[in-house]
């Protein structure tokens, strides 16, 4: 079995009770069957607490009024862990923030940016992320797995990541190239022209295609097109209201952002966007690197999942829109703060976005 991990994987450690926003609150934790069976067999002093804290019918941990896990004590430590040890944790708690995508004999493991510590690591990182592979014993065979499509997707993703990390090109153009490649690959797959995908991947690495994308982007961003820019941004933003809400206070963030950025029309939106770009250049010149890291994260995590549903373009669009929306959240927070923003706030907005969007199967189904 081949495992793939990002090079910062081993740097992660859980800050437990020091965590600024514990993962043991705010969402329903589903318990795997094996752990559930173990919990049902617990004897002794802890049995009563176990049955009060686990909903065996729903297969979840119960929560208090503030949606904190019933095992999370007032010191933000887990009573299950303290009383029965690490091995007692269910699969979700043992794994988090690790996220595993499974492809027959390959396991791609990432660290979810919904964890504040992971978000912090990515927001502080300057050098491009690399992916490491290692082998472990074991093999699996999947029915209905298409290894040829997977290899096309993995090749495409490798080239997309190369483009994305080429910092001699503006981030907007790099993302434009990725979207173009994903779009053209989707057309080929739809027409069952798998063998011509390689040609598409090559085309998006040429100077000619880069110039074409650059011109298209410049045209779209021209002042005359401010109305289109505004409608496009607002339309993407409004999609967030269609998603399942995991935390009540997320709604407040959305409404506040919408009010700040879009309530006063296209002219004001354009003005704020320009001012923010100027501020970013002078005060936070690394923001494009941070957005690049996020785009790498979303693309790496989800793109090859298209092997199961052939929705290649949707996977790339999810990555692009996520990065766009996170930047919109940054922009609105910057305005709200009186035109200031710091790294802690970037981190907070990143992990809160990820918690809402990535930690609901219903939401992922809608956007992927």
For residues 115 and 153, which CB has a smaller minimum distance to ligand SF4 in the complex? 115
Q: Which contacts qualify for 122-128: CB closer than 8 Å, 24 or more apart? A: 122/8, 122/290, 122/293, 122/294, 122/297, 122/350, 123/290, 123/293, 123/343, 123/346, 123/347, 123/350, 124/343, 125/8, 125/289, 125/293, 126/286, 126/289, 128/165, 128/292, 128/296
Q: What is the nearest approach in angstroms of ligand SF4 to the Cβ of residue 351?
A: 8
Measured CA to CA, the distance from residue 51 to residue 39 in angstroms comes to 8
Measured CA to CA, the distance from residue 339 to residue 5 in angstroms comes to 37
For residues 69 and 197, which CB has a smaller minimum distance to ligand SF4 in the complex? 69
- Helices (H), strands (E): how many in the chain? 17, 6
Q: What is the nearest approach in angstroms of ligand SF4 to the Cβ of residue 240?
A: 22
Q: What is the nearest approach in angstroms of ligand SF4 to the Cβ of residue 227?
A: 41
> Pattern 106-135, binding to ligand SF4, x per CB under 6 A?
---------xxx------------------
DSSP 26: S
For residues 83 and 92, which CB has a smaller minimum distance to ligand SF4 in the complex? 92
Q: What is the nearest approach in angstroms of ligand SF4 to the Cβ of residue 189?
A: 37
Name the segment binding ligand SF4 (CB under 6 A); options: 13-21, 172-180, 282-290, 302-310.
13-21
Q: What is the nearest approach in angstroms of ligand SF4 to the Cβ of residue 258?
A: 27
For residues 14 and 246, which CB has a smaller minimum distance to ligand SF4 in the complex? 14
For residues 112 and 273, which CB has a smaller minimum distance to ligand SF4 in the complex? 112
Residues in contact with 124: Cβ distance below 8 Å, sequence separation at least 6, in sequence order: 343
For residues 163 and 294, which CB has a smaller minimum distance to ligand SF4 in the complex? 294
Measured CA to CA, the distance from residue 267 to residue 148 in angstroms comes to 48
Rg (CA), the chain: 22
Q: What is the nearest approach in angstroms of ligand SF4 to the Cβ of residue 298?
A: 19
DSSP 103: E
Measured CA to CA, the distance from residue 351 to residue 115 in angstroms comes to 6
Cis ω before 337 (30° cut-off from 0): no
Q: Which residue has the tokens 């035109």?
A: 339
Q: Which of residues 70-99 bind ligand SF4 (CB under 6 A)?
A: 96-97
Measured CA to CA, the distance from residue 327 to residue 325 in angstroms comes to 5
For residues 120 and 210, which CB has a smaller minimum distance to ligand SF4 in the complex? 120
Q: What is the nearest approach in angstroms of ligand SF4 to the Cβ of residue 1?
A: 25
Within 10 angstroms of residue 202's Cβ, the number of other Cβ atoms is 12
In the set 22, 301, 347, 354, which binds ligand SF4 (CB under 6 A)? 22
Measured CA to CA, the distance from residue 202 to residue 315 in angstroms comes to 20
Total number of residues binding ligand SF4 (CB under 6 A)? 11
In the set 4, 6, 23, 291, which binds ligand SF4 (CB under 6 A)? 23
Q: Which residue has the tokens 């939106």?
A: 269
HSE-CB at 117 with a 13 A cutoff on CA atoms is: 18
Q: What is the nearest approach in angstroms of ligand SF4 to the Cβ of residue 96?
A: 6
For residues 14 and 266, which CB has a smaller minimum distance to ligand SF4 in the complex? 14
Q: What is the nearest approach in angstroms of ligand SF4 to the Cβ of residue 144?
A: 34
Name the segment binding ligand SF4 (CB under 6 A); options: 18-26, 152-160, 195-203, 215-223.
18-26
> Pattern 34-73, binding to ligand SF4, x per CB under 6 A?
----------------------------------------
In the set 2, 7, 15, 34, which binds ligand SF4 (CB under 6 A)? 15
- The binding site for ligand SF4 (CB under 6 A) comprises 14-16, 19, 22-23, 96-97, 115-117
């Amino acid at each position: 079995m081949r495992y793939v991990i990002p090079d910062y994987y081993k740097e992660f450690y859980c800050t437990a009770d020091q965590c600024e926003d514990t993962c043991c609150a705010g969402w329903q934790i589903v318990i795997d069957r094996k752990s559930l069976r173990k919990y049902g067999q617990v004897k002794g002093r802890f049995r009563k607490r176990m049955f009060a804290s686990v909903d065996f019918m729903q297969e979840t941990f119960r929560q208090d009024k503030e949606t904190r896990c019933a095992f999370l004590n007032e010191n933000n430590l887990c009573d299950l862990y303290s009383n029965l040890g690490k091995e007692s944790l269910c699969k979700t708690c043992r794994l988090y923030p690790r996220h595993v995508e499974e492809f027959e004999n390959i396991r791609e493991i990432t660290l979810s940016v919904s964890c504040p510590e992971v978000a912090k690591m990515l927001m502080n990182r300057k050098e491009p992320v690399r992916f490491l592979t290692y082998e472990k014993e074991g093999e699996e065979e999947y029915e209905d797995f298409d290894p040829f499509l997977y290899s096309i997707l993995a090749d495409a993703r490798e080239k997309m990541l190369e483009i994305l990390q080429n910092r001699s090109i503006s981030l907007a153009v790099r993302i434009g190239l990725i979207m173009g490649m994903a779009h053209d690959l989707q057309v080929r797959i739809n027409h069952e022209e798998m063998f011509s995908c390689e040609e598409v991947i090559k085309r998006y690495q040429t100077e000619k295609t880069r110039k074409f994308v650059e011109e298209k982007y410049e045209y779209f961003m021209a002042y005359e097109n401010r109305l289109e820019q505004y409608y496009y941004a607002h339309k993407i933003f409004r999609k967030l209201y269609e998603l399942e809400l995991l935390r009540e206070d997320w709604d407040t963030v959305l409404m506040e952002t919408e009010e700040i950025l879009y309530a006063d029309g296209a002219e004001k939106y354009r003005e704020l966007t320009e001012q923010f770009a100027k501020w970013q250049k002078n005060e936070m010149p690394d923001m494009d690197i941070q957005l690049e890291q996020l785009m790498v994260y979303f693309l790496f995590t989800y793109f090859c999942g298209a092997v199961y549903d052939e929705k290649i373009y949707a996977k790339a669009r999810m990555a692009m829109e996520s990065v766009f929306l996170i930047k919109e959240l940054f922009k609105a927070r910057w305005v709200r703060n009186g035109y200031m923003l710091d790294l802690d706030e970037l981190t907070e907005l990143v992990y809160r976005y990820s918690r809402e969007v990535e930690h609901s199967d219903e939401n992922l189904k809608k956007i992927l």
